[in-house]
Chain A
Amino acid sequence: MGRATGRDAGRRGDRRAAVRDTIGVGLGLFPIGMAFGVLVVQSGFAWWWTPLFSVLVYAGSMEFLMVGLISAATPLASIAATTFLVNSRHLFYALSFPRHRVDGRLGRAYATYALTDEAYALTATLPEPELTSTRILAIQVLCQAYWVTGGIVGALSGRALPESIRGFGFALVALFAVLALDAIRAARDVPTPLLAVGCALAAARIAHERMLVVALGLLVVVLLVRHRTRGPGAPPGDVVPDA
Chain B
Amino acid sequence: MPEGPAILASLLVAGAVTVALRAVPFVVIEPLRRSSVIRFLGLHLPAGIMVILTIYTLQDVPLRSWPHALPEVVALTVTVALHLWRRSAVLSILAGTATYVVLTSWLVSGGAIG
Contact = CB atoms under 8 A, between A and B. Distances in A.
Interface of A: 23-25, 27-28, 31, 44-45, 49, 52-53, 56-59, 62, 66, 69-71, 73-74, 76, 79-80, 83-84, 87-96, 99-100, 112-113, 115, 117, 120-121, 124-125, 163-164, 166-168, 170-184, 186-187, 189, 192-193, 195-197, 199-201, 204, 208, 211-212, 215-216, 219-220, 223-224, 226-227, 232, 235-237, 239
A90 B53 CA distance: 12
Contacts of A237: 39, 43
A199 B96 CA distance: 25
B14 A57 contact: yes
Contacts of B45: 92, 95-96, 219-220, 223
B21 A197 contact: no
B113 interface: no
A126 B25 CA distance: 21
Instruction: Enumerate the 6 nearest inter-chain pairs by beta-carbon distance, A residue then B residue, closest first.
Output: A24-B89, A94-B25, A180-B50, A96-B42, A167-B101, A196-B48
B22 A193 contact: no
8 contacts: A23-B90, A62-B18, A73-B2, A84-B17, A96-B45, A167-B100, A174-B97, A193-B48
Contacts of A186: 46-47
Given A112-B23, A167-B105, A174-B76, A200 B96 contact: no
Contact of A57 (B1, B18, B88): B18
Interface string B64-80: 00000000100110011
> By CB atoms of chain B within 10 A, which of A89, A95, A220 has the most?
A95
A197 B47 CA distance: 11
B50 to A, nearest CB: 4
Interface of B is mostly: helix
Interface of A is mostly: helix
A189 B100 CA distance: 30
Given A113-B22, A183-B50, A199-B48, 17 more contacts: A23-B90, A66-B10, A73-B6, A76-B13, A94-B25, A170-B96, A172-B57, A173-B58, A174-B76, A176-B54, A181-B83, A186-B46, A187-B47, A196-B51, A199-B52, A236-B42, A237-B43
A186 B28 CA distance: 26
A99 B90 CA distance: 26
A192 B17 CA distance: 30
Contacts of A200: 51-52, 55-56
